[in-house]
Amino acid sequence: MLAGLGVHNGRNTRVALEPASADAGIIFVADGQEIEALLPNAQALQRQTSLIANGVAIATIEHLVAALMSLGVDNAVVHVTGGEVPAMDGSARCFVDAIDEVGLVFLKQHKKILRVVAPVRVSDGAAWAQLTPASSGMSFDVEVAFRQPIGRQRHVLSLTPETFRNELASARSFGSLDEAQRLWSQGLALGASLENSLVYDERGVLNPHGLRYENECARHKMLDAVGDLALAGAPLIGAFRSYRSGHRLNVSLLKAAFEAGALVLEKARNSPARGQLTAISP
């Protein structure tokens, strides 16, 4: 069980993971209602992705579902209290450490995968995101462009549990002090602080310990994209690339890919090591 402030609602929030049976998928539970972590229930809102169904909303699910998908967890029940997944340190680090600590078990059923079989691209002004076919694995190439001091940053990665742990999981949410003040005045980002966000002013980073990576902002945007694409319901085989993308465009891309028939469900039959994984209880 992990507890902390919700970065958006500023409330005390908690999350607990439980194992689930094969083919259950990732199921969130809040206020006694189950919501599957799937695209039809997803809503990309300002600076976060929520699951909304049956009159219940759960905010900021993206870093947790990114960790589950990247570590190979196909099935889990996620209990959330307080309407939002706790921000922890603004990254996926605590979720990865918690899952690694309890461990995973293989289930007998074959893992499901979604193969990208045709290119799909969405854009909004200068921003764009695309998926293209690949022979194996899921790769990410994410570029951001902000005013200085963030500037242009890029990160390229082939997603595995190891690369996720070592290159993405610790990259924190970020924003400018001006933007934080504006969001606070609108009643948003109420829990945001230097404890759970990388905060910039025009001169640089305000956090006392500075950056974790020189291109931490590009890496965080990639972490967000991994989480948003995990709402496909199975790991993808394909290549994701984006420029100045965010939750809204990532979710639109996934919708467009399904609508175009560009994602085809397969079972990974070849390797016995690809059984479905589920989190086990501590």
Contact 255, 229 (CB under 8 A): no
List the interface residues with Zn ion, window 133-162 (CB under 5 A).
none
Region near Zn ion per CB under 5 A, out of 171-179, 198-206, 232-240, 255-263: 171-179
Of 63 and 241, nearer to Zn ion (C-beta) is 63
Q: Which two tokens stand for residue 211?
A: 């950056």
CA distance 282 to 279: 9
Report the candidate in 16, 3, 6 with the shortest Cα–Cα distance to residue 282: 16
Binding string, 95-124, against Zn ion, x = CB under 5 A? ------------------------------
Give the residues across from 237 on adjacent strands: 115
Of 47 and 112, nearer to Zn ion (C-beta) is 47
**Nearest 5°: phi and psi at 172?**
-90, 155
Region near Zn ion per CB under 5 A, out of 141-149, 217-225, 231-239, 240-248: 217-225
Residue nearest to Zn ion (CB): 224
Contact 250, 242 (CB under 8 A): yes
Which of 20, 224, 245, 250 lies at the binding interface for Zn ion (CB under 5 A)? 224
Q: How far is the CB of 48 from Zn ion (least distance, A)?
A: 7
**CA dihedral (2, 193, 170, 67) positive or negative:** positive
The answer, yes or no, to whether the previous bond of 149 is cis (omega within 30 of 0) is yes
Q: Catalytic annotation on 63?
A: no
Give the residues across from 198 on adjacent strands: 174
Residue 41 is a binding residue for Zn ion (CB under 5 A) = no
Residue 173 is a binding residue for Zn ion (CB under 5 A) = yes
Q: How far is the CB of 120 from Zn ion (least distance, A)?
A: 23
Residue 170 is a binding residue for Zn ion (CB under 5 A) = no
- Catalog residues that contact Zn ion under the rule CB under 5 A: 173, 224
